[in-house]
Structure 1
Amino acid sequence: MYKFRILHPNAITKLRMQPVMHGMIGILFLFNLIGVYKMEHPNWLMALLFIALGTASLAFPFMMRKMRKMSETNSVLRLLQVFTLFSGSLFFLSHMQPIIGGTLLLAGLGVAYTGYAEYRIMQPAYARIEDSGISLPTVFGEKHYRWNEMNNVILRNDLLTLDFRTNKVLQLEVLDEYSPAQTADINAYFQSRLT
């Protein structure tokens, strides 16, 4: 059995979408600020909350690359965004605006899911190679592929390449270092399982 420490298969796509998601949530907070401000009796505490989180959400993508603990900071900001969306939902529902309140509730659930997915993707991920097949991480668990689903499996240049019989190719970046002799042994094991 082999266990490879890999970059999570969905990490690249999710990390590219992070700045966009933070920007969209920031804009949503600023639109909610307009809704709070235009009420007959504005709630200034809620308005300040929307201003603070809207500005922080819009500024975060520009500061992401400078942070040392980007994953932890992102998780904290997601929690604050979810809290603010749920608080805004309760605020607008209590002021008899069910469409805005319901929309904020759905947005809060969506951001909570996104935050959980980002948290899981940032955790160390492992691909397990066993006699029964290959197990790869997903957001909520693992996906197991049998050897009879594969045309070829090869480890070369820190890339684990899975060639499926369905003409699908998956390349995973391996974060562990292997010597040429170890790589040859691993590839020989792969070939023995494929035949």
Structure 2
Amino acid sequence: MYKFRILHPNAMTRLRLQPVMHGMIGILFLFNVIGVYKMPNPNWFIAALFVVMGVASLLFPFMLRRVRKIAETNTVLRMLQAFTMLSGCLFFLSHMQPIIGFTLLLAGLGVAYIGYAEYRILQPSYVTADNTAITLPTIFGSRRHGWNEMKNVILRNDLLTLDFKNNKLLQLEVLDEFGPVEAAEMNAFFQSRINA
């Protein structure tokens, strides 16, 4: 059995989308300030909370380069964003604004899901290859693919290439270092399991 660490298949896409998502959430918070401000008796605490969270969400992608623990910082900010949206939902529902309230409820649940997915993606991910199948990480767990589903599996130049029989091709970046002898041994194991 072989087990090695990889970069999660969805990590690069998520990392590229992070600044956009934080920016959109920041703009949503700033639009909510307008909704609070236009009420007959505005709640300045909620307005200030929306302004602070909006500015923090807009500035976070620019400050991300200076942060050492990116995954933890991103998770904390996503939790704060979800909490603020759900609090805003309760505020607008209590002030008879059901459309804004339910929109914030859906947005808060969406941000909570995105935060959880990003947290899982930024955790260490492992591929396991045993005699029966190869196991790949997913957002909510892992998926086993039997060797009978594979046309070819090869490890070369820190890339694990999985060629499925249904013409699906998946390349995963391997984070563990393997010497030429170890890589040849693993490739021989993969071929023996595919040909069995």
Bin for the TM-score computed over the shorter chain: over 0.9
Q: Whole-Å Cα distance in 2 between the matches of residues 61 and 149 of structure 1?
A: 40
Q: TM-score, normalization: structure 1? A: 0.99
The residue number in structure 1 matching 2:184 is: 184
Q: What's the secondary structure of 1:8's corresponding residue?
A: coil
The residue number in structure 1 matching 2:95 is: 95
Q: Unpaired runs of 5+ in structure 2?
A: none
Q: Which amino acid aligns with 1:125?
A: S
1:44 is the counterpart of 2:44: yes
1:9 is the counterpart of 2:2: no
Q: Which amino acid aligns with 1:132?
A: T
The residue number in structure 2 matching 1:23 is: 23
The residue number in structure 2 matching 1:115 is: 115
Q: Whole-Å Cα distance in 1 between the matches of residues 24 and 17 of structure 2?
A: 11
The residue number in structure 1 matching 2:75 is: 75
Q: Whole-Å Cα distance in 2 between the matches of residues 180 and 79 of structure 1?
A: 44
Identity within the alignment, %: 71
Q: What's the secondary structure of 2:82's corresponding residue?
A: helix
Q: Whole-Å Cα distance in 2 between the matches of residues 133 and 152 of structure 1?
A: 13
Query: 1:63 deviation in Å?
Result: 1.1
Q: Whole-Å Cα distance in 1 between the matches of residues 70 and 133 of structure 2?
A: 34
Residues matched between the structures, number: 195
Query: 1:71 deviation in Å?
Result: 1.1
Matches within 5 A, 1:114-153: 114-153=114-153
The residue number in structure 2 matching 1:174 is: 174
CA deviations over 1:34-53 (Å, ceiling 9, x no partner): 00001100000000000000
Q: Which moved more, 1:161-170 or 1:63-72?
A: 63-72
Q: What's the secondary structure of 2:176's corresponding residue?
A: coil
Query: 1:57 deviation in Å?
Result: 0.2
Q: Whole-Å Cα distance in 2 between the matches of residues 177 and 68 of structure 1?
A: 23
The residue number in structure 1 matching 2:155 is: 155
Q: Which amino acid aligns with 1:61?
A: P
Q: Which runs of 4+ in 1 moved over 2 A?
A: none
Query: 1:6 deviation in Å?
Result: 0.4
CA deviations over 1:11-41 (Å, ceiling 9, x no partner): 0111111111100000000000000001100
Q: Whole-Å Cα distance in 2 between the matches of residues 139 and 64 of structure 1?
A: 23
Q: TM-score, normalization: structure 2? A: 0.98
RMSD: 0.6
